Amino acid sequence: MSISLLVLSASLVGQPIYGIAIAGDGDSLTVGGTSVRLFGIDAPEFGQTCRRAGTPWPCGQVASDHLRNLVTGREVRCIPVGTDDFGRTLARCSTVAGVDINRGMVASGNAVAFRRYSVDYVSAEDAARNAKRGLWSGSFEMPSEVRAVARKTAPQRQATRRTAPIRPRPVAFSGGCVIKGNHSPRGEFIYHLPGMPYYSRTRPEAMFCSEAQAQAAGYRRARVR
């Protein structure tokens, strides 16, 4: 997920967020109704595949599952450090038992250190690479590169949607994916986040684990009036 760090006011930075977490993709959570992007790490996109011994494997799904295993049924404590372009809280998170979630994702090879924004997890990435864990057991594209390609091709896909006949979309439910996508009466493909005014009333035609995933599929964020 593309992030652009916006510094929060001093009164907000550092105030912990507590709650039972719901995992999205490999680097995003919903904690107590707050959308959280794990700071300093970058996990493969949900639908991204990697290669191991010449064979593709669903590294994005595996990363999401690993994060879900870290947080499911556990209370999480997140320390905010800013917000991203999508309004999500950037945070360092841990379980109340003291497991560092950000570091754990990188150390297991299910995410990389997002050096553009932080070097906090470079040592964890080095350890994962040396041990050939997760992503480092084969070859993969950096998640940021995958998103860049998706952004370039999204306008073309949207143009195709405007000219092609509208067909019902299958519901792609996946545990922990909470972003609802649907087709509006005006012919637009929009998505709704938990906490938005029409979220509870929206009947999803597709489910997404991150806003980047929804946008790459040609959806736009619902406007809140």
Q: What pLDDT digit, counting tens, does each position of 88-102 carry?
A: 899 999 998 899 999
Residues with Cβ within 8 Å of residue 98, at least 6 apart in sequence: none
pLDDT, mean over the chain: 81
Q: Is the pLDDT of residue 164 over 80?
A: no
Please, which pLDDT band fits residue 181 given cuts at 50, 70 and 90? confident
Q: Which of 52-56, 99-103, 137-141, 163-167 shows the lowest per-residue confidence on average (mean pLDDT)?
A: 163-167
What is the share, in percent, of the chain residues with pLDDT greater than 70? 81
Mean pLDDT, to the nearest integer, of 173-179?
64
User: Which domains does the chain possess?
Assistant: 17-141 (2.40.50.90), 144-221 (no CATH)
pLDDT of residue 216: 72
Provide the whole-model pTM.
Answer: 0.66
3-state secondary structure the chain: CCCCCECCCCCCCCCCEEEEEEECCCCEEEECCEEEEECCEECCCCCCCEEECCEEECHHHHHHHHHHHHHCCCEEEEEEEEECCCCCEEEEEEECCCCEHHHHHHHCCCCEECCCCCCCCHHHHHHHHHCCCHHHHCECCCHHHHHHHHHHHHHHHHHHHHHCCCCCCCCCCCCCCCEEEEECCCCCEEEECCCCCCCCCCCCCEEECCHHHHHHCCCEECCCC
> 43-58: per-residue pLDDT in tens?
999 889 999 999 999 9
pLDDT of residue 24: 83
Instruction: Show Cβ contacts of residue 167 under 8 Å, excluding neighbours closer than 6 positions.
Output: none
Query: What would the mean pLDDT of 176-200 be, rounded to a whole number?
Result: 78
Q: Calculate mean pLDDT across residues 188-200.
A: 80
